[in-house]
Chain A
Amino acid sequence: MQLEPRLHTPLWMTLGAPVFAVLFVLILCGGLISWAGAPLLDSYIALFRGAFGSKFAIAETLVRATPLILTGLAAAVAFRAKLWNIGGEGQLYMGALAATYFGTGLVNLPAPLMIPFLFLVGALAGGFLLLVPTLLKTRLNVDEVVTTLLLNFVVLLLANYLLFGPWKDPMAMGWPQGAPIIDNGILPNLIAKTRLHGGLIFALIASVCIWVVMTKTKWGLEIRAVGLNSEAARFSGIPINKTILRTALISGGLAACAGVTEVAGTKEYLTLDISPGFGYTGIAVAMLAGLNPLGVIVAALFIAGIYNGADSMSRAMDVSNYIADVITAASLLMVMLAVMLTRMRVRFK
């Protein structure tokens, strides 16, 4: 048996491979569910219902997908330029901090201006946060994987300090949380009696915009060229450092917008648990999407659905909701493997 490269991959294979991979993962994880002593089919039904089974479930999945789309885009853009931004979590909190600083009374504009203003200051804060390790990379060749990762903890500790100290809301009965965002800054609710807010619209528009930038503009061409072959890019005169710094601003800004949607949309005030690791999961979203900005939407919906579904499955069937992490991780591996295999042909002889 032998693997050979394939010259053309048929479209049905490209589209079918991830679906097949996910089905395969569900079969594999069936083993774990059975091991936990739960009926397999009922568990999966519970998982699906929890994710997409009702208006409420769908809304919750979309609420969870919103920040994942944004952090996924942040990773997808940065990784295209081979800028390994692992600091999505820190940038997210930075955006949330900026939204809290400006959105709790310091600035008061009418809603149509206030909301874009919060996204803008959040994006700037996140963008500049990523600019620091990126400058260290372009100037001094410091590995950005380490610096962006460690900055996550710096920012989280800063948020800790602010929420336990100067920013603590006196009305919060001692809980470490920020003052509520003023009414004009709250993202509008999309479906009554659910938590679904306008952040989703923002995230969807952002995906389309990033897709347009990456495929139709000069900036996109530069980012892709630098990421795919920086030596050829340098040789043909593309300003490498400028491109990487620009990418950092975009990527950090997108991740920070996820912090803004959480503070101004989902929670309406800053807490220390606004993100259960959205910044890190964004990396998985981006990889699952093959770094495609539109694919990020699908990948974020999938992962958000798995997490929400696993929560309700664990309530109904007494299976630990860690199964969601297993399914996500296995899906990531299997989808990548499946996509790689679509470029190959198996021969038996």
Chain B
Amino acid sequence: MLKIDNVTKRFGNLVANDAISFSLKKGKVLSLLGENGAGKTTLMNIIFGHYTADEGSIEVNGRRLKASNPAEAIALGVGMVHQHFTLADNLTVLENIILGTEAIWQWRQNKKTARARLAHLATEYGLHVNPDSPVKSLTVGEKQRVEILKALYRGAKILILDEPTAVLTPQETDQLFATLRDMIAQGLSVIFISHKLGEVMSIADDVVVLRHGKLVASFPIAEASREIIAEKMVGEVVPAPRRQVMQAGDQLLGLENVELKGNSGHLLLKNISLNLQRHQIIGIAGVSGNGQKALSDLISGMAKPSEGSFRVKGAHISHFDPRDMIARGVGRVPEDRHVEGVVGDFSIKENLVLENYEDGKFSKFGWLQNRTIIDHAKRLIETFDVRGGTPDTIIRGLSGGNMQKVILARVLDNNPEIILANQPTRGLDVGAATFVHDKIFKAKAAGAGVLLISEDLEELLAVSDKIAVMYHGQISAQIPVEEVTLQQLGLLMSGDGFVASSVESNHAA
């Protein structure tokens, strides 16, 4: 179906793809693995026609893809589902799907034919979505189905999925995989990009591993094991840090019957009770948009509870302010690196002092102490192994993993006793995620309590001492990790076992 032959792509001195060759057969799933910055996205952009390869060629069904032109790639049957959806929220499903497929001079849309074709595709592949519901009312899983339908509607024979499961619940993931298996049975081919080795093992037929722009391994899944793949990806055996069982100490963070009201007066959090102790990591599971953001805002000092008591190290908190929380020893790793974590156009050194530039070390009488700030940045870049950065590097240019290291450095350098880590490894490769986990474990060993909010159950099970699930603004009991099962978590995540409540679900966009 698809033949990649000797594709090379350079950006300046950087070789993003170095003579990569592989082929994808009809009805197979090929999984493309690699750390961030290994060249996966560049390669996919070349296949999809966003970039032109400097050398080498791409053949689809024996026809050579010439120019760099997404329209041609689509015409040859390549469809792409991006990690971040490209749907117009204000249009309906049907409108989104036909968007861009019609001739400019056609004066009215032929919705009838489109609707029939969509219905046909939906039944054929088991992708059921109401064609008339507005996209903004859909769940994340449904939106993804629309994206896939969009590609199929354009006649895709090869589907490229970029991190498709990052936003799904385990159940939704299973459903996606069932759909993918249907599609394969119908003769489609899939390129599946993911960080999650478990999923790759369950769906892929072949695995291709990239590292630093080079193809380092390509083998059928039958010959691979998780360890081998992980080793190929990072180039060495990564000893995953292991959770240490420790005796929990005194209470650091105590929430009792806390409620939080949103701007329009509806409850975002209802009756939340939580108890975080020293030497303890509590994992918070749940589908995104079930109150994790509200809980993390609360602990970050960005929001004020409307009811209940909130204690930090025994002290009752009534004034909620980010600086106050930091001063009380709360370290905060925000959910979205780009939105809340860093100022993208600031240099590394400026981002590193964003929370404590008022400190006498970094500013005196309003003047920034540039020397100290640079030394501070140099030291943290060194200790946190931020690659490709000097104190003056603009942070936007760093990879996700290195950006996260800068945020961790900023947070952990204050020696916080309470660490709120909201999705700290989202989008990170194995190496960087291991680094983050290692730092969390070290903080725990040193006496900190960690609240880890994540959508990655594998991560939660590996790292947390106790796990609680959030659903519609409520939180379940904290279950010791030794006693919890994946099924149990899946059920809790879909609302089983919660008291029916009037709290509106808040699907974060």
Interface residues of A (CB under 8 A from B): 2, 4, 6-8, 216-221, 224-225, 228-229, 231-238, 347, 349
Q: Could you say which residues of chain A place their CB within 8 Å of the CB of B302?
A: 234-235
Assess the A235–B343 pair: CB atoms within 8 A.
no
Residues of chain B in range 332-369 having any CB-CB distance to chain A below 8 Å: 332, 334, 339-346, 350, 354-355, 357-358, 363, 366-368
B326/A237 in contact, CB under 8 A: yes
Interface: B370 (CB within 8 A): yes
- 18 A–B pairs (Cβ distance < 8 Å), ordered by A: A216-B367, A217-B366, A218-B357, A218-B366, A218-B368, A221-B350, A225-B346, A225-B354, A231-B340, A233-B354, A234-B302, A235-B332, A236-B322, A236-B354, A238-B354, A347-B52, A349-B52, A349-B68
What residues of A have a CB within 8 angstroms of the CB of B357 in the complex? 218, 221
**B345–A236 CB distance below 8 A:** no
Q: Are B343 and A225 interface neighbours, CB within 8 A?
A: yes
Whole-angstrom distance between the alpha carbons of A229 and B394 in the complex?
14
Q: Shortest 10 CB-CB distances between A and B: which pairs? A: A237-B322, A237-B323, A235-B340, A236-B354, A229-B343, A236-B355, A218-B363, A218-B366, A228-B345, A228-B343
A217-B366, A225-B346, A235-B341 known; 4 new pairs, CB 8 Å cut-off, are A216-B367, A219-B366, A232-B354, A237-B323
Decide if B51 touches A4 in the complex (CB within 8 Å): yes
CA distance A203 to B239 in the complex (A): 62
Of the candidates B343, B345, B355, the one whose C-beta lies within 8 Å of that of A237 is B355
Complex contact B341–A221 (CB within 8 A): no
Which residue of A has the minimal Cβ distance to B327? A237
Q: Is B300 part of the binding interface, using a Cβ–Cβ cutoff of 8 Å? A: yes
Query: For A232, what are the chain B residues with a Cβ–Cβ distance below 8 Å?
Result: 339-343, 354
| Chain A residues positioned under 8 Å from B326 (CB to CB) | 237
B344 near A216: Cβ-Cβ < 8 Å: no
The CA of A236 and the CA of B355, in the complex, are separated in Å by: 5
CB pair A2 B52 closer than 8 Å: yes
A151 to B10 alpha-carbon distance, docked (Å): 53
Q: Interface code B384-424, partner A: CB below 8 Å = 1, 0 otherwise?
A: 00000000000001000000000000000000000000000
Chain B contacts for A8, CB-based, 8 A: 12
**In the complex, what residues of B have CB within 8 A of residue A219's CB?**
366
B12 touches A7 (CB 8 A): yes
Whether A228 and B344, one on each chain, are in contact in the complex, defined by CB atoms closer than 8 angstroms, is yes
Residues of A close to B14: CB separation below 8 A: 7
Task: Establish whether residues A218 and B358, one from each chain, have CB atoms under 8 Å apart when the complex forms.
Answer: yes
- Provide the bound-state CA to CA distance between A8 and B14, in Å: 12
- Chain A residues positioned under 8 Å from B363 (CB to CB): 217-218
Checking B68, B344, B350, B366 against A2 with a beta-carbon cut-off of 8 angstroms, the contacting residue is B68
Given A4-B11, A221-B357, A228–B367 Cβ distance below 8 Å? no
Given A7-B12, A218-B358, A349-B52: A235 and B346 interface contact (C-beta under 8 Å):
no
Residues of B contacting A6 with CB < 8 Å? 12
Residue B321 interfacial (CB < 8 Å)? yes
How many B residues face the partner with a CB closer than 8 A?
Answer: 35
Q: Which residue of A lies closest to B323 (CB)?
A: A237
| A218 and B357 alpha carbons, distance in the complex (Å) | 7
Tell me the bound Cα distance from A225 to B368 in angstroms: 14
CA gap between A62 and B384 in the complex, in Å: 52
B357 to chain A, nearest CB (A): 6
CB-based contact B322/A235 at 8 Å: yes
Given known pairs A229-B344, A235-B322, the reply for A221 and B52 (CB within 8 Å) is: no
- State how many angstroms separate the Cβ of A15 from the closest Cβ of chain B: 19
Which residues of the partner chain A approach B397 to less than 8 Å between Cβ atoms? 7
Contacts A235-B340, A236-B322, A237-B321: A228 and B370 contacting too (C-beta < 8 A)? Answer: no
Bound Cα distance from A218 to B362, whole angstroms: 9
Q: Is the CB of B346 within 8 A of A224?
A: yes
> Pick the contact of A216 from B67, B321, B370 — CB < 8 Å?
B370
Tell me, rounded to whole Å, the shortest Cβ–Cβ distance linking A244 to chain B: 16
Give the distance in Å from the alpha carbon of A235 to the alpha carbon of B300 in the complex: 8
In the complex the two chains form, what is the Cα distance from A229 to B357 in whole Å? 17
Most buried by B among A7, A233, A237, A347: A237
Give A247 Cβ to nearest chain B Cβ, in Å: 15
Q: What residues of chain B lie closer than 8 Å to A221, measured between beta carbons? A: 350, 357, 368
Q: Smallest CB-CB separation from A8: which chain B residue?
A: B12
**Bound Cα distance A285, B357 (Å):** 32
Q: Mark B307-325, 1 if CB is under 8 A from A, else 0.
A: 0000000000000011100
Q: In the complex, A2 Cα to B51 Cα: how many Å? A: 8
Q: Produce 1/0 per residue, B133-175, CB < 8 A to A.
A: 0000000000000000000000000000000000000000000
A219 to B342, CA, bound (A): 18
- CB-CB under 8 A from B68, the residues of chain A are 2, 349
The answer to whether A228 and B322 have CB atoms under 8 Å apart is no
In angstroms, Cα B334 to Cα A4, docked, is 31
* A225 and B346 alpha carbons, distance in the complex (Å): 8
Residues on A with C-beta less than 8 A from B366 are 217-219
Alpha-carbon separation in the docked complex, A237 to B51 (Å):
41
**Residues of B11-25 whose CB lies within 8 A of A:** 11-12, 14
Q: In the complex, are the beta carbons of B367 and A217 less than 8 A apart? A: yes
The complex places the Cα of A7 from the Cα of B10 at a distance, in Å, of 12
If A2-B68, A7-B14, A219-B366 touch, whether A228 touches B340 (CB-CB below 8 Å) is no
Q: Shortest distance in angstroms between A209's beta carbon and chain B's nearest beta carbon?
A: 13
- Bound complex: CA of A188 vs CA of B350, how far in Å? 42
Partner of A233, one of B301, B334, B343: B343
Q: How far is the CB of B229 from chain A (nearest CB, A)?
A: 31
A229 to chain B: which residues have CB within 8 Å? 339, 342-345
Q: For residue A238, which residues in chain B have a CB less than 8 angstroms away from its CB?
A: 354
What chain A residues lie within 8 Å of B321 (beta carbons)? 237
Chain A residue nearest to B363 in the complex (CB)? A218
Contacts of B322 in A (CB 8 A): 234-237
Residues in B with CB closer than 8 Å to A224 are 343, 346
- Give A35 to B345 CA distance when docked, in angstroms: 45
Query: How far in angstroms is the closest Cβ of chain B from A223?
Result: 12
Interchain CA distance A349-B51 in the complex, whole Å: 11
- Name the residue on B nearest A215 (C-beta): B368
Shortest CB-to-CB span from A17 to chain B, Å, is: 19
Which of A221, A224, A235 lies at the interface centre, i.e. has the most chain B CB atoms within 10 A of its CB?
A235
Q: Are B323 and A231 in contact (CB-based, < 8 A)?
A: no
Q: Are B12 and A228 in contact (CB under 8 A)?
A: no
Nearest CB of chain B from residue A154's CB, rounded to whole Å: 32
CA distance A232 to B355 in the complex (A): 10
- Docked Cα-Cα span, A264 to B44, in Å, equals 64
Residues of A within 8 A of B344 (CB): 228-229
Chain B, residue nearest A349 (CB): B52
Q: Report B337 CB to chain A, min CB distance, Å.
A: 9
List which B268-323 residues lie within 8 A (CB) of chain A.
300-302, 321-323
Q: Is B367 a contact partner of A218 (Cβ separation < 8 A)? A: yes
Could you tell me if B11 and A217 are in contact, using CB atoms closer than 8 angstroms?
no
CB closest chain-B residue, reference A348? B52
Bound CA span A224–B343, Å? 9
Of all chain A residues, which has the CB nearest B326? A237
> CA A101 – CA B301 in complex, angstroms?
47
List chain A residues, Cβ under 8 A from B339.
229, 231-232
- Nearest residue (CB) in A for B54 is A349
Chain B contacts for A228, CB-based, 8 A = 343-346
Q: Quick one: closest A residue to B52, CB to CB?
A: A349
Distance in angstroms between the alpha carbons of A228 and B300 in the assembled complex: 21
